[in-house]
Structure 1
Amino acid sequence: MRVLEFTGGPGFLAFVATFVLVVGAVLLSRSLTKHLRKVRTHPPADTAAPSTLAQAAPTPASPAEPEAPQHS
């Protein structure tokens, strides 16, 4: 009885698939890094810090009587 030995490997297609996945991961990480730098260093001008928003917002007055629950 003759025993067949496996002499092949994953092949060229597996190399191409792995290469595409690695290139995609590198591009994705570069894009994420770019966006995180932009968020950290350049916040939008129209948003204020949370502490200034809390000071500027008026507190609503508490009602004299609680509202009655509405029945449907």
Structure 2
Amino acid sequence: MKKHPVRNAIIDKFHRGFVYTCIGASIYAFSQIVSRFYHYYTVVKPQLAKQQLMEKEELLAEGSSEDKAPILKL
């Protein structure tokens, strides 16, 4: 007589596969989040700081130019 797996055994195999899929998706998502944070703190944030510094220097350079308006004597 041929043995057939019990219904619970089939359900257990599907459940195990689903759990492994969830674990894999979680690991993948976590690695993507970590890589995004790494990219932000190593590439994007230094560029933003450099750009803001350049903008501040431009504003200071504009304000330090000589005033060409004539002096009013009252």
> What TM-score comes out, normalization by structure 1 length?
0.50
Higher helix share: 2
Query: Which structure: larger Rg?
Result: 2
